[in-house]
């Protein structure tokens, strides 16, 4: 197709688009992505894994230094601010020291023994109160840090038919989320995540985007839906859900990762890169949509890949796929779609996917005084060797197993 024969002026035009896209693209890294994690069958301990919030900020700062696209780090209240708002000053110091800001605030309602039968959907009013208290503290942390998003993943559910009332638990969740929303200030948002299964296996209380959207609306106007790309049934058209959330003005953000079957938490774009391209395309093709309202976040679990390597690779892959999506000529595409010229529309669309944008990313990095090859720079920098030496002993001491 003629669209694939790029003339010089086309190339110029492509470069402008890509530079503009990359200048506006930011993706948040999770503090827990630098710590040791694993599967239920055990975890493979990495010598360089972060063992403290300071080390997590150090690692996040390095990822941002290498990529220029990861200026914030998602915080997990239980693990990163165990003393709640009392830890805010520490975080502020780390922000200053490592040049990355605190991003979304992530409460934890799944780990404590009291949440065995649920947190905000627990039949026990006392447990629900404890959960609400933790959410309210998370809101206060967000205020203190000037962080916009409180990001809720509710792991509640049940494992066996009949063992819990699906219906009554909905009402309990509505109450708690409404109370949480009431406590937020005008600049804060609540993001409601959904997931079809795991760790609950028969029913998960917030299982799909329809349930998350309902709860967000009941909670209040600044509650939005969070899409974790790994939290869908096989075959689900995720970009369609994104289109509906954009249409209903309720898309809050993403937890990006990839998977082959379930919530595998692999590096984004590693299994089905075309899907992530299509997701980005839904956003860039929505008129008037700025990505300012959409929180792009990484949520992955790197059990085998090196923590730092995997994170840099993820940021770079996200940039590449976002740049490809930005290349689609929306006007031409709309015209072909309206005339139902299917093959031509498809070829125009995926011609952008097939364009090798890597040279332009290198050009952009050079123009922005960033390392031209972030992964290579990471390897030659000796950073991983250094943190492995520093943290090795501490990591050796941990190291989990199944039994």
Q: Please give the residues from 203 up to 232 whose contact with a second copy meets the rule CB under 8 A.
A: 203, 207-211, 213-214
Binder of a second copy out of 10, 12, 44, 96 (CB under 8 A): 44
Rounded least distance, CB 165 to a second copy, Å: 5
User: Alpha helix (H) ranges present in 237-382?
Assistant: 238-247, 273-284, 307-326, 330-338, 342-354, 358-367, 374-381
Near a second copy in 358-397, by CB under 8 A = 358, 362, 373, 375-376
- The stretch among 20-28, 67-75, 129-137, 269-277 that binds a second copy (CB under 8 A) is 269-277
d(CA 150, CA 189): 6
Of the candidates 64, 141, 113, the residue with the CA atom closest to the CA atom of residue 311: 64
How many residues lie near a second copy (CB under 8 A)? 117
d(CA 364, CA 386): 29
Of the candidates 173, 179, 163, 164, the residue with the CA atom closest to the CA atom of residue 193: 173
- Verify binding: residue 248, a second copy, rule CB under 8 A: yes
Binder of a second copy out of 85, 286, 293, 388 (CB under 8 A): 286
Near a second copy in 115-154, by CB under 8 A = 116-117, 123-124
The H or E element that residue 29 is part of is: strand 29-30
Q: Which is nearer to a second copy, 234 or 290 (CB)?
A: 234
Binder of a second copy out of 35, 132, 297, 315 (CB under 8 A): 35
Q: Which is nearer to a second copy, 12 or 163 (CB)?
A: 163
Site string for a second copy, 342-361 (x = CB under 8 A): xx-xxxxxx---xxx-x---
Rounded least distance, CB 109 to a second copy, Å: 11
d(CA 356, CA 118): 47
Q: β-pairing, 223-228 with 251-256? A: parallel
Near a second copy in 154-173, by CB under 8 A = 155, 158-167, 170-171
Neighbours of 95 (CB within 10 A): 17
Collapsing DSSP states into helix, strand and coil, what is residue 271? coil
């Amino acid at each position: 197709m003629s669209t694939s024969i790029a003339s010089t002026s086309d190339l110029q035009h492509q470069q402008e688009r890509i530079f503009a896209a990359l200048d506006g693209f930011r993706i948040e890294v999770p503090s827990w992505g630098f710590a040791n994690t694993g599967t239920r069958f055990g975890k493979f301990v990495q010598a360089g894994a972060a063992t403290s919030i300071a080390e997590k900020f150090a690692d996040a700062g390095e990822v941002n230094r290498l990529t220029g696209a990861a200026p914030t780090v998602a915080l997990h209240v239980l693990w990163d601010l165990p003393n709640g708002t009392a830890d805010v000053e520490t975080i502020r110091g780390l922000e200053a020291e490592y040049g990355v800001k605190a991003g979304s605030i992530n409460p934890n309602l799944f780990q404590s023994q009291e949440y065995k039968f649920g947190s905000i959907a627990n039949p026990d009013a006392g447990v629900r109160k404890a959960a609400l208290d933790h959410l309210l503290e998370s809101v206060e942390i967000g205020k203190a840090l000037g962080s916009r998003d409180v990001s809720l993943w509710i792991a509640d559910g049940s494992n066996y038919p009949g063992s819990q009332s699906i219906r009554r638990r909905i009402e309990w969740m509505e109450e708690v989320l409404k109370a949480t929303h009431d406590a937020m200030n005008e600049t804060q948002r609540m993001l409601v995540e959904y997931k079809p299964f795991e760790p609950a296996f028969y029913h998960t209380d917030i299982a799909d985007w329809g349930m998350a959207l309902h709860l967000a609306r009941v909670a209040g106007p600044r509650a939005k839906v969070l899409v974790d790309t790994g939290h869908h049934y096989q075959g689900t058209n995720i970009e369609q859900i994104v289109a509906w959330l954009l249409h209903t003005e309720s898309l809050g953000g993403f937890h990006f990762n990839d998977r082959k079957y379930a919530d595998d938490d692999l590096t984004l774009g590693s299994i089905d890169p075309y899907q992530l391209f299509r997701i980005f395309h839904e956003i860039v093709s929505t008129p008037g949509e700025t990505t300012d309202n959409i929180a792009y976040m990484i949520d992955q679990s790197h059990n085998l890949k090196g923590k730092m390597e995997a994170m840099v690779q993820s940021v770079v892959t996200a940039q590449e796929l976002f740049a490809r999506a930005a290349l689609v000529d929306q006007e031409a595409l709309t015209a072909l779609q309206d005339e139902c010229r299917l093959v031509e529309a498809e070829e125009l669309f995926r011609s952008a996917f097939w364009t090798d944008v890597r040279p332009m990313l290198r050009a952009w990095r050079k123009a922005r005084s960033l390392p031209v090859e972030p992964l290579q720079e990471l390897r030659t920098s000796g950073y991983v060797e250094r943190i492995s030496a520093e943290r090795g002993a501490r990591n050796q001491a941990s190291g989990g197993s199944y039994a």
